[in-house]
Amino acid sequence: MRAASLDLDLEVFQGPFDLLLTLVLREEIDLLEVELAEVVLSYVDHLERTGELDLEAATEFLVLIAALLELKSRLMLPGGDEPLDWQPEEAAEELLARMLEYSRYRRAAEFLRERLAGESGFRYRSAPIPRALRRVSVDAAEAVYEPELLARSIGGLLRVPPALDLSHMARPRVTLEQRLAHLRDLLGARGRFGFDEAVAGADRLTQAVTLFALLELYKSGEADWEQDAPFAPITVTAAAGAGGGPAG
């Protein structure tokens, strides 16, 4: 029992929780002198120090404390001088039986959780058959639909839908090859030009395609560019030893 290893520092006892249980059950420590509230507070302080909650250990602790509370309540009831129904050995056996019962319930809960997780993809009908359909033979059943209506419905599902009309969408009217030819014409005629000049008056799509064309020229070794600072004008020059190339 992991919860039984809790270290305690009480007025009448100092040591692990399992030793306190043993001494109480052997009647070597009077249970009436043990402040169970301090035991609970010590366990809460232990949880705060560790910063984590072990549900199994916490459940064990609750079972043990509940058993001690029951024993102490029996001692505090009127007529406490009379002998208890439980002897120390019987109390220890009862405590062990409760721990075993808790363990059985925990294993049963784990088994049910695993079964539920394994059957998560299947759900079965649990409602009874409607009263109107009970004790009705197949021969007495009547059709609840028109065959022609069902055929038309299935035929509609098999019909190929018309093609989508994309006439309202704007299509790009510039290609990468066109912008490559444009840049090569500028390089062949001037050898050096500004990128802003190459895209003067063009829309954003044309500007983007022109930038891709410039990257292609740089990749093929036909052109270089310079830019003194971020967002400064870009100057495109013909690469050393490279001609302007064919204009498309």
Please write the tens of the pLDDT for every residue from 162-217: 888 888 777 667 889 999 999 999 998 888 999 999 999 888 889 999 999 999 99
pLDDT of 193 reads 92
Q: Which residues pair with 8 in a beta bridge?
A: 15
Tokens representing 176 are 């990468």
The answer to whether the CB of 182 falls within 8 A of the CB of 198 is yes
> What is the signed CA dihedral for 172, 175, 176, 179, rounded to 10 degrees?
-110
The answer to whether the CB of 27 falls within 8 A of the CB of 75 is no
- For 63, phi then psi, to 5°, come to -65, -45
- For 171, phi then psi, to 5°, come to -105, 145
| Cα separation of the two ends of the chain | 84
- CA 71, chain centre distance (Å): 45
Single pTM value for the model: 0.32
The length of the chain in residues reads: 248
Low-confidence ranges of the chain (pLDDT < 70): 1-7, 9, 11-14, 18, 25-27, 78-100, 102-103, 123-125, 133, 136-144, 171-172, 241-248
